[in-house]
Amino acid sequence: MVKNSLSAAAISRDLETRFVGQRVIYYPSLTSTMEVARREAQQGAAEGTVIVADEQTAGKGRLKRAWLSPGGNVALSLILYPALANLPSLIMLASLAVVHSIEAVTGLKSQVKWPNDVLINGRKVSGILIENDVQANTVNYTIIGIGININLRLADFPEILPVATSLGAELGRDVSRLSVIRCLLVEIERLYLGLSVGGSVYEEWRDSLVTLGRRVRATTGETIYEGVAESVDRDGSLRLRGWDGSLTRIVAGDVTLRD
């Protein structure tokens, strides 16, 4: 039986990072880690501060959707103070950190669905939310929110069974949340420090996308585009080739794979 209890001390103890995860605030139950992280950032929290909850009762994903986060999974938010030029890379960085940590802990291969979902065998295992506070070209703070289905019992939530999975469900056994979180924080810092010295995560992120070359439906606001996901730009935007041959740049939206 995998021991799956969490605590701030267990997460940060001997963590091989300079700043990410060196300060951890842990809650057994919380409405949203993003809300607490936002409040902490506005009060000048140290960079790398992490808010972790055993259970989120009102977690949000992109487009203000609810994110199911009962106990036994990962729900965390991380505070960063990045350079303005690096903002487009943060969703790439976070996605890759999730992919890397899943493989390191479990051996499972995962892929990214544009812009910020992580899939295993075509089903969602993780979602990522980025919130930036920028004024007059100055970044006040960035919060990266990450949810990972670790030991989610899919049988308890039949409504998500066709579209979601968990690490435990894929392996047929419980997975250590602590191991995933610690590995994730190390990976985030490694990639983030690489950005600060001029590195890029674009190529690896692009190559990890399950979306490219696929028939997709993209929804932006009330507009729907259909076609083939042709490429992604360095700022993370998606290039969609419509059935009429037109090329549309999608900066933000929701993409559904159609094949």
pLDDT digits (tens, 9 = 90+) for 5-23: 799 999 999 999 999 999 9
The CA-based angle 2-8-13, given to 5 degrees, is 80
User: Which H or E element spans position 35?
Assistant: helix 33-42
The CA-based angle 228-165-104, given to 5 degrees, is 90
In 3D space, the residue among 157, 145, 7 whose CA is nearest the CA of residue 68 turns out to be 157
Q: What's residue 1's pLDDT? A: 41
Tell me, yes or no, if the pTM score tops 0.85.
yes
Whether the pLDDT of residue 59 is over 60: the answer is no
Stretch 49-57: mean pLDDT: 91
Instruction: Give me the DSSP letters along 112-125.
Output: EETTTEEEETTEEE
In the chain, the domains with their CATH numbers are 8-206 (3.30.930.10), 212-257 (2.30.30.100)
- Residue pLDDT, tens place only, 60-117: 544 455 545 666 889 999 999 999 999 999 999 999 999 999 999 999 999 999 988 9
